[in-house]
Amino acid sequence: MATAAGVLCLDFIHRSGDPEEFLESGPLDAATHREVRRFRTSLQRLLDAEARGTGARENDLATLNRILSRAGGNRGLRPTVRGYGWGWLHEEGEDLSRLLWPVAWSAARLLDSPDLARLKSCDGCGRLFLDASRNRSRRWCDKGGCGNRANVARFRSRHR
C-alpha cells in the first residue's frame, strides 16, 4: 500500500496555528496567507467528508482543482539516478502559493487511489489517518496517545 500519497496532505491539514510553520518559506504576503488558510480548511472538510463516506462538497473540490490547475503546468519528468521521475519543474518563483502544489498533488493522489478506503477519523481526537492495519480495524491515529487514553478510560469504567 502506498500510504505516502496522503501523508503530506494529512500533515498539512493537522497543523495548528500559522501555516508559515509548515511551509517554512519565510514571510507570506497577506493574500497568500489567506489562500493557504482557505486551502487548508477546504482540504480538511474534503478529507473529513471522505473519511465519513459522505463525499466532498463541490466548492471544496473546486478549491483543490484550482490549486491543481496552477500546479499541473509545473509538473513534469526530471532526470533521476535510474532514469526519470515526476517532479516540479519550476521550484523558484514569485508565486509563493507554489508551496501548496505538493500538498494538492498529494491530496489528489490520495483521492484517486484505492487507499482512500483506508482514510479514517480518529475516535479520540478526530484527526485523519490512513489505516494500514491488515484488517482495517484501526480506530486511533496513535495507539500510544489516543488509543492508550481510550483503553485507560475503558479500564477505569470497568473497575468502578
3-state SS of 30-94 is: HHHHHHHHHHHHHHHHHHHHHHHCCCCCHHHHHHHHHHHHHHHCCEEEEEECCEEEEEECCCCCC
What is the pTM for the complete model shown? 0.74
Break the chain into its structural domains and give their ranges.
4-118
Q: What pLDDT is recorded for position 63?
A: 92
pLDDT tens profile 60-72: 999 999 988 888 7
Q: Topology of 4-118 in CATH? A: Jann2411-like fold (1.10.3300)
